[in-house]
Structure 1
Amino acid sequence: MDVTAQPRMTSGEGPIPAPVRRAEPTIWRNPHRRDAASVLAASAFSEADMRGAEARWRRFAPLLAALFDGTDEGRIDSPLLPVGPDLARTLRGGAPGSVWVKADHDLPVTGCIKARGGVYEVLAYAETLAGAAGLLRPGLSYAAFASGPFRELFARHTIAVGSTGNLGFSVGVMGRALGFQVEVHMSHDAKAWKKQRLRELGARVVEHPGDYGLAVATARDAFRDRADAHFVDDEDSVDLFLGYAAAALDLQRQLASAGIAVDGAHPLFVYLPCGVGGAPGGVAFGLTLLFGDAVRPVFVEPVAAPCMLVQLAAGLDRPVSVYEAGLDNRTAADGLAVASASLLVARTVGPLIDAVVTVPDADLFHWLKALWTGAGMRLEPSAASGFAALSRFLAAGMPAEAGSATHVVWTTGGAHLPDAEFAAALAQA
């Protein structure tokens, strides 16, 4: 396949554009985008919520530093890396602007962006339980959560989640480290190695013959009325959303440190791989709180599973799946193999998304190899999708104000990819 062949540019040509239905690479410029101020004014979430999540991260920093190597003073964050000139030139295809990578493929603890949401929600639940049990007291170091009465309390509770792999691992790592029982419901397209590493943590893995949506729905029903358990709902969790949103503050600090301006004359395009939508939605929302209309979120989805594009194009009155658009939801990007987007996310950030770009699997393997050989980045196919989208987006023509833009590709997973899996992915390029 010629990965330089460009998709058709679409906007409001019908509820679900014909190229999307045909599983063709598509750039969908969001006709429903509105100004940030009006969207944020009507939102159920505010900057205070995001900063509250950041404050919780700070409270738990001593615990994270004690439990996990690689956390910088208890922070779970990744570097902002410049893309080398040769690779950046290839990505831009002659278009102006600088290219950076927010390297969550190498995020501490989990090696994937899901730590920002999954780890955060486990910590929020642990704090709630500890408070209800009277274990919190003034001046307490949260490092105590890993010992004594805290672990005894947590051992009597179960945390459950439905996942294709990375969210389950993030919940499992943090949950088991605190002594919780953990149950992960996984779809047919979850990788065997991701299931095995959960079992090695001591988590219970429940396999489902159906897709991600079925795994989530089954787990939700199983834990709906259990007082001794907490279900991490990837489709409808406020804690997940806010945990991801707090990542915007990390990027803001890094951009300032690098001397990168973000304003009307210097827009920030951020390319965010999208599955159900929690991670990209939270990040996009947080960045919009900080930068307003100067940030231009671009969501990235596989051609076979563009659930957010389908939902936004069809409207927000009811859930709409890719199956209704005639697509099969089968992709090598297992973390993005989701048939239906989160309505919570679609309704919250839909009007803030600049575009959705869909990419074929061949592009994922092409850029996975290019990033490995050109920059030494070890990515999962899902994490390579942002580079595929950036290349197509720029080649298809950018808005006039993008001449002085900064482009940030947010990677999502890869550091923990087994050697055999990575070699197999490279061989497909």
Structure 2
Amino acid sequence: MSMAAETSLARSLDAIPASVREGRPGVWLNPDLRPAAEFVPTLAFSLADVEAAEARWRRFDPLLRYLFDDLETGRIDSVLMPLADHVTRSIAGPKGGAVWVKADHDLPVTGCIKARGGVYEVLVHAERLGLEKGLLRPEDSYARLAEAEVRDAFAAHTVAVGSTGNLGFSVGVMARALGFSVEVHMSHDAKAWKKQRLRDIGARVVEHQGDYGSAVAAARSAFEDRADAHFVDDESSVDLFLGYAAAAFDLRRQLDEAGIKADAAHPLCVYLPCGVGGAPGGVTLGLKLLFGDAVRCIFVEPVASPCMLVQLAAGLSRQVDVYEIGLDNRTAADGLAVAGASMLVAATVGPLIEAVVTVTDADLFAWVKRLWSDPGLRLEPSAAAGFAAVRPYLDATGTDQATHVVWTTGGALLPEAEFQAALARG
């Protein structure tokens, strides 16, 4: 490396706050935040792309309704739940504004937000493969993809993914339901029960000694030249990204039904737990396309794994991971235990992210316990991250007259023993 390159690299790392390097919780306000009206028109994705993703979801309603008993309409969505005043005060303080929960911890089919991206990408692959092989015609009901002839054809194809657990399960459940073979590459920190539930649905689990990034890299390498396989790449998949983005339409509909308006005088603050960034990044894109600057998207990361904060603070000239600043990427929030952020997400929505809040594992477990006691939310530690971020964000910005939406991301399918262990740590 040349001296000039070394100097540039040092400068980029110097932009990362000392508190982040030291693993202390805090609020990073994005200095590169851009007005939506100025930045969104420069993006490679438009509202038409997200509308097309939403239209594809609706084409699959008959198939999903047929395959999954808990989908009466075929729509994979969760409730937008208001919290009682006393709970809201404990989260946001006496002047913080109303707090609502976008309850993707209880999302149908997979019990986690990853269904929005993982299920969607499998459906995109099935649609393309079905049309290409003449198994599906554009005018057909997509329920045809559940027929034996189609399943037999799909059985010769593999869907693969690298995951710490929830994305792998979402991809696996949908792919197995359509007859595909499934291979999930998992990191050393993935929970044993998440590996077992994949095996229980007939997926092949490949375990790696490295972290999430190394598991994804190994899976990508193994499948890059296979014509009979499709690799769901959590770091760079456009289909995955747009599947998540379509969630913005669900939230807008629910806000309208609840009579909640979002404008300059009444901002909508949305708190999104962040691992590699695909789910919160996609949701951010969709929300910014629909609400512009009336929505403020706040990412939340563990103090040991603030990969998106590190990447955005250091700049986009190259990928920077948390190991480079002395952090160990060890957190009980396994779904957020990611060392390096998705460059697709960082480059696409980085200038639209209002802030990144870092939180401790102790705070995550405390909120898991508090939210189970009242109002009875059954969350994984990762899914509690947004609640720990509301007060710090408000204290740092002085925001008032806002509506807060905390997006919960997993927990409904947490085994009872695991949930009780999390409660004990709270």
Which of the five TM-score ranges fits, normalised by the shorter chain? Answer: over 0.9
Seen in structure 2, the aligned counterparts of structure 1 residues 127 and 346 have a Cα distance that, compared at 3 Å, is same
Report the 3-state secondary structure (helix = DSSP H, G, I; strand = E; otherwise coil) of the residue aligned with 1:403: coil
Contact 2:285 2:349 in 1 (8 A): yes
1:26 deviates by 1.4
Q: What is the root-mean-square deviation in Å for CA atoms of aligned residues? A: 1.1
Letter in 2 for 1:349: V
The partner residue of 1:414 within 396, 411, 421 is 411
Report the 3-state secondary structure (helix = DSSP H, G, I; strand = E; otherwise coil) of the residue aligned with 1:288: helix
5 Å-filtered alignment, 1:335-346, equals 335-346=335-346
Q: Residue 282 in 1 paired to residue 279 in 2?
A: no
Report the 3-state secondary structure (helix = DSSP H, G, I; strand = E; otherwise coil) of the residue aligned with 1:404: coil
Quote the Cα distance in structure 1 between the aligned partners of 2:86 and 2:400. Answer: 19
Letter in 2 for 1:193: W
Quote the Cα distance in structure 1 between the aligned partners of 2:198 and 2:220. Answer: 19
The answer to which of 229-238 and 148-157 deviates more is 148-157
Quote the Cα distance in structure 2 between the aligned partners of 1:18 and 1:317. Answer: 21
Quote the Cα distance in structure 1 between the aligned partners of 2:89 and 2:138. Answer: 54
Quote the Cα distance in structure 2 between the aligned partners of 1:427 and 1:159. Answer: 37
Match of 1:426 in 2: 423
Quote the Cα distance in structure 2 between the aligned partners of 1:392 and 1:33. Answer: 19
Quote the Cα distance in structure 2 between the aligned partners of 1:343 and 1:182. Answer: 26
Quote the Cα distance in structure 1 between the aligned partners of 2:222 and 2:390. Answer: 40
Quote the Cα distance in structure 1 between the aligned partners of 2:181 and 2:391. Answer: 43
Match of 2:137 in 1: 137
1:86 deviates by 1.0
Contact 2:13 2:314 in 1 (8 A): no
Letter in 2 for 1:324: E
Report the 3-state secondary structure (helix = DSSP H, G, I; strand = E; otherwise coil) of the residue aligned with 2:290: helix
Match of 1:204 in 2: 204
Match of 1:35 in 2: 35
Match of 2:18 in 1: 18
Seen in structure 2, the aligned counterparts of structure 1 residues 81 and 221 have a Cα distance that, compared at 3 Å, is same
* Residues 246-296 of structure 1 deviation map (CA, whole Å, 9 limit, x = unaligned): 000000000000000011111100000000000000001100000001110
Match of 1:398 in 2: 397
Match of 2:239 in 1: 239
Match of 2:8 in 1: none
Report the 3-state secondary structure (helix = DSSP H, G, I; strand = E; otherwise coil) of the residue aligned with 2:168: helix
Match of 2:3 in 1: none
Match of 1:7 in 2: none
Quote the Cα distance in structure 1 between the aligned partners of 2:96 and 2:215. Answer: 43
1:138 deviates by 4.7
1:14 deviates by 4.5
Quote the Cα distance in structure 1 between the aligned partners of 2:303 and 2:243. Answer: 28
1:414 deviates by 0.2
Quote the Cα distance in structure 1 between the aligned partners of 2:119 and 2:139. Answer: 23
TM-score normalised by the chain length of structure 2:
0.96
Query: Following TM superposition, where does structure 1 have runs of at least 4 consecutive aligned residues deviating by more than 4 angstroms?
Result: none
Q: Residue 332 in 1 paired to residue 337 in 2?
A: no
Match of 1:124 in 2: 124
TM-score normalised by the chain length of structure 1:
0.95
1:149 deviates by 2.1
Quote the Cα distance in structure 2 between the aligned partners of 1:129 and 1:104. Answer: 29
Quote the Cα distance in structure 2 between the aligned partners of 1:222 and 1:267. Answer: 45
5 Å-filtered alignment, 1:89-100, equals 89-100=89-100
Q: Percent identity?
A: 71
Task: Tell me the matched-pair count.
Answer: 415
Quote the Cα distance in structure 2 between the aligned partners of 1:265 and 1:58. Answer: 34
| Unaligned runs of at least 5 residues, structure 1 | 1-11
Report the 3-state secondary structure (helix = DSSP H, G, I; strand = E; otherwise coil) of the residue aligned with 2:305: coil
Letter in 1 for 2:16: I
Contact 2:27 2:396 in 1 (8 A): no
Quote the Cα distance in structure 1 between the aligned partners of 2:288 and 2:14. Answer: 28
Seen in structure 2, the aligned counterparts of structure 1 residues 25 and 91 have a Cα distance that, compared at 3 Å, is same
Match of 2:101 in 1: 101
Report the 3-state secondary structure (helix = DSSP H, G, I; strand = E; otherwise coil) of the residue aligned with 1:414: coil
Quote the Cα distance in structure 2 between the aligned partners of 1:75 and 1:138. Answer: 20
1:398 deviates by 2.8
